[in-house]
Amino acid sequence: MVKQHWMVRFVRIVAILFVLLSCLVVFWYTPFYSNMMVKILNHVVPVEVDQVAAQSQQKAALSEENTLEPGSDLWIARQAYLKLLDEEIKSKNVQDLILLQLRYKALQEKISQEQKSEEQEQDKPVIPLLSEQVSSEQASSEVAASGVVSDQSSETVKALLDLNSEDNKALMDEYLKFLKTHQIDEALLVGDAVVVDAELASSQVTDVVENGSDANKQNRESLKSSQPYAIVVLGGGLTLDKNQKDIIVNEYTRLRLETTLALEKQNKLPIVLSGVEAPYMQKWLAERGVEAKLLENRSMNTCENTRFSSLLLQKKGGAPTVLLVTDRYHMPRTRRLFALSGIETIPVNAPMPTQLSEWQPSKQNYDHSRRANYETLATIRDMLFGSSGCREVP
């Protein structure tokens, strides 16, 4: 057998590689490639909820009205209230629930009054010379510690959220005692003057009080963990309006908001808008008659979207499960990051700005393939090396 010249073999290999690359490029321009990549991502990317992180959302008492900073006295008081609420629910006694609610409101007023007293004390005039001395000492100490503060910020936040720390545990015990023993005027417990908070009137509480048989306990717990408590919408970017002056949401964000409008009609749930686009998203929804009160407007990437939104939901009382609105290519990676933060997500796919076309070379199909490629590479990076450029706290 005659041996082929090396140049012939080289040309043949190059020709085969060129044909394979051409086939791949053509495949990129078909609807089949992006659909295939989405199926792979949905199958491979894990979305099991981290059970340790999930404990921060387990109270499932999400409220749009309460704005409590994690670690604050009011936040610790709410944790004490929610702890006793779980215990009182088991008693199936509405009167006890009302009494607990009234004591909690009294505790909130007490803490608020103490905070106002402290603020007034701080506002008192000080001796100028003493003030200058103190401010100079503070300035020098801040300069000396500036390199340490940034390194310890994440540890400080973790300490604030740790209810078992020495300071927090002492406050927790004090508030628990207040909620158990504080005397309430009996007149408030009688008649129509008592209005039970919406939290007590929720389906979760009334189900336990009215239908609290042990046989249904597991079903209720399952329902509690699976039902959505909020709609979380991730921003997709901003752009300039036609006048080239005003900033508005781009097509990606607009389509996610349109999906949210339809979703909100079916599920009257609190809406969380996540990303620096949040104020513009809120304005867009408000112009269409939908109010979104929960804004997370500090995140700059997907990892921060999930982390900061989880912290916001925790601050508002907890939401173990949410409806998540983003595009289908972004969904697997985002669901995984929310799961690591302790939140289960129910995916609601928003459409892309361009639609897939029939089988033929098409720029529209390539837009989908490019989006699929980006999310695939980002997911691989996150799973192997962790998310880069992701702050721990807003």
What is the three-state SS of 325-381? EEECCCHHHHHHHHHHCCCEEEEEEECCCCCCCCCCCCHHHHHHHHHHHHHHHHHHH
Distance CA 22, CA 39 (A): 24
- End residue of a domain, out of 167, 188, 223: 223
Three-state DSSP class for 7? helix
- 82 domain residue, yes or no: yes
Mark whether 211 and 340 lie in a shared domain: no
DSSP letters of 139-168? HHHHHHHHHHHHHHHHHHHHHHH-TTSHHH
How would you write 120-133 as a 3-class SS string? Answer: HHHCCCCCHHHHHH
Mark whether 113 and 212 lie in a shared domain: yes
Mark whether 244 and 380 lie in a shared domain: yes
Mark whether 261 and 371 lie in a shared domain: yes
**pLDDT tens, position by position, 100-151:** 888 888 888 888 888 888 877 766 554 444 444 434 444 444 434 434 433 4
- End residue of a domain, out of 223, 256, 275: 223
Mark whether 295 and 359 lie in a shared domain: yes
Mark whether 173 and 296 lie in a shared domain: no
Compute the CA torsion angle 61, 66, 69, 73 (nearest 10 deg).
Answer: -90
CA distances to 76, 220, 333, 376, 379 from 382, rounded to whole Å, are: 34, 35, 8, 10, 5
How many structural domains are present in the chain? 2
- pTM above the 0.75 mark? no
- End residue of a domain, out of 204, 223, 242: 223
Distance CA 166, CA 169 (A): 5
Q: Which residues of 90-124 are buried (b: 16+ CB within 10 A; e: fewer)?
A: eeeeeeebbbbbbbbebbbeebeeeeeeeeeeeee
Contact 326, 36 (CB under 8 A): no
- 7 domain residue, yes or no: no
Contact 325, 68 (CB under 8 A): no
Three-state DSSP class for 61? coil
Range of the domain at 252: 46-58+229-385
Q: The tokens 């990129």 sit on which residue?
A: 28
The residue among 50, 95, 57 whose CA lies nearest residue 79 is 57
Distance CA 181, CA 361 (A): 74
State how far Cα 150 lies from the chain centre.
24
Mark whether 316 and 366 lie in a shared domain: yes
Mark whether 218 and 290 lie in a shared domain: no
Alpha helices in the chain (DSSP H): 6-28, 31-44, 51-54, 73-89, 94-122, 128-161, 166-181, 203-210, 217-226, 251-266, 278-286, 302-315, 331-340, 363-385
Mark whether 347 and 379 lie in a shared domain: yes
Distance CA 111, CA 128 (A): 31
Q: What is the pLDDT along the chain (394 residues), one digit of tens a residue?
A: 567 777 878 888 888 888 888 777 777 788 888 999 999 999 999 999 998 888 878 777 787 766 566 677 887 887 788 778 777 766 666 667 778 888 888 888 888 888 888 877 766 554 444 444 434 444 444 434 434 433 444 454 455 555 566 767 888 888 888 888 888 776 655 544 444 444 444 444 444 444 444 434 444 444 455 789 999 999 999 999 998 889 999 999 999 999 999 999 988 899 999 999 999 999 999 999 999 999 999 999 999 999 999 999 988 888 999 999 999 999 999 999 999 999 999 999 999 999 998 877 788 898 999 999 999 999 999 999 887 778 887 7
